[in-house]
Amino acid sequence: MSAAREELPAVSRRRVRLALRAARERTGHSQSDVAKTLGWSMSKIQRIELGEVNISATDLRAALTLYRVTDADRVAGLLEDARIARRERYWTDPEHRSHLPPGLVQLLQFELAAATIREYQPTMVPGYLQTPATAEATLAWSGFDLESDARRVRREVRLRRRAQVIERDGAPEYRLLLDESALWRMIGDQETMAAQFEDLAEVSRRPNVRVRVIPMDGGAVMGMFGSFSVLHLGEGDAEDDGVDDAVLYRESYTRDDVIEDPAEVRFHHEVFERFWHEALEEEASRATVLARAYDLRARIARKSGL
């Protein structure tokens, strides 16, 4: 794992909470037992294990002693993770804390640690792959209630994410499952959408990017899902990475959240995989996207009398 990954507070906090929960369960302690033995409130241990709060070095040592975690390297590693996790406030841009949804603030860190990202989008080309014109049109369409600073920050973050996630060295494998209806929804004008679909077809040729389209005549069930992403944080084979080290990000018009519940992550992972194998293959998907771009170009040409 790279040094950059090691220094992500959200990822470090996740490692600590998962390690503490696993150690507690391995030794047969209930949360109530731990709270009573260590003199903690139940809410404190629950919030630590949920990753809602950071744990101090003193409390971490006390918990590890109770759980009989004695390996010096293991203890040192968790203490370092706890130290990094407490630097969240210094790591996160103040403007991000003020103007981005809490789930997205966490997602920005998990993206940098991801080995594979699986994303389903039923309505539009996702933020990673949006052109500047589409990003602007999307914010104008969905962000009418945003203040100017919030809109500016979201625009800047959206446009940086392609370079930070898709185009950087060591980028994760990114799989996009796009509902065909997204090709017919106008965001901005015809020129904006034609350029967006041409760009999408081009970026889909990158070795780490795979795009598949779910035809409208075969994706009725999938169409009932809102957009979501499953980010696998491990180093394993993308075809066989499972959900043991994965998080789920769900986004709607008014809210977003990062979910680490294994059952929820597994469910969305399995839904994605089912429809991934039922969608059009990559070449057919690229042809479908380009056909829509050509149709829009033809419409533009007719309007201009060319």
Q: What is the pLDDT of residues 238-262, one digit of tens each?
A: 455 557 789 999 876 557 888 888 8
Residues of the chain with CATH 3.30.870: 94-304
pLDDT attached to residue 269: 94
Per-residue pLDDT reduced to its tens digit, 77-120: 999 999 998 887 666 677 777 777 778 888 888 998 899 999 99
**What is the Cα–Cα distance from 105 to 88, expressed in whole angstroms?**
10
Options 1.10.12, 3.30.70, 1.10.260, 3.40.50; CATH for 3-91 is 1.10.260
pLDDT bracket for residue 201 (50, 70, 90)? very high
Q: Nearest 5°: CA angle at 129, between 124 and 132?
A: 90
> b/e string for 275-300 if b means 16 or more Cβ within 10 A?
bbeebbeeeebbebbbebbeebbeee
CA-wise closest residue to 113 among 168, 193, 154: 168
Q: Which residue has the tokens 């998080």?
A: 247
| SS3 assignment, position 285 | helix
Percent of the chain with pLDDT over 90: 56
- Burial group, residue 125, by CB count within 10 angstroms (0-12, 13-18, 19+): buried
Percent of the chain with pLDDT over 70: 88
Mean pLDDT score, 212-224 = 76
pLDDT attached to residue 2: 40
Contact between 64 and 77 (Cβ < 8 Å): no
Whether residue 237 is predicted with pLDDT greater than 50 in this model: the reply is: no
Residues of the chain with CATH 1.10.260: 3-91
**What is the Cα–Cα distance from 250 to 256, expressed in whole angstroms?**
6
Helix axes 102-113, 9-26, angle to 10 degrees: 80
Write out the CATH class of domain 94-304. alpha beta
Whether residue 176 is predicted with pLDDT greater than 70 in this model: the reply is: yes
- Of 56-60, 135-139, 145-149, the range with the highest mean pLDDT is 56-60
Tell me the sheet residues that pair with 245: none
pLDDT attached to residue 144: 56
Whether residue 5 is predicted with pLDDT greater than 60 in this model: the reply is: no
| pTM to 2 decimal places | 0.82
- Burial group, residue 147, by CB count within 10 angstroms (0-12, 13-18, 19+): exposed
Amino acid identity of residue 166, one-letter, is I
Query: What secondary structure letter does DSSP report for 171?
Result: P
pLDDT attached to residue 1: 39
Lowest-pLDDT range, 4-18, 186-200, 207-221, 284-298? 4-18
**What is the Cα–Cα distance from 250 to 119, expressed in whole angstroms?**
10
Q: What pairing do the DSSP bridges indicate for beta strands 246-251 and 173-179?
A: unpaired
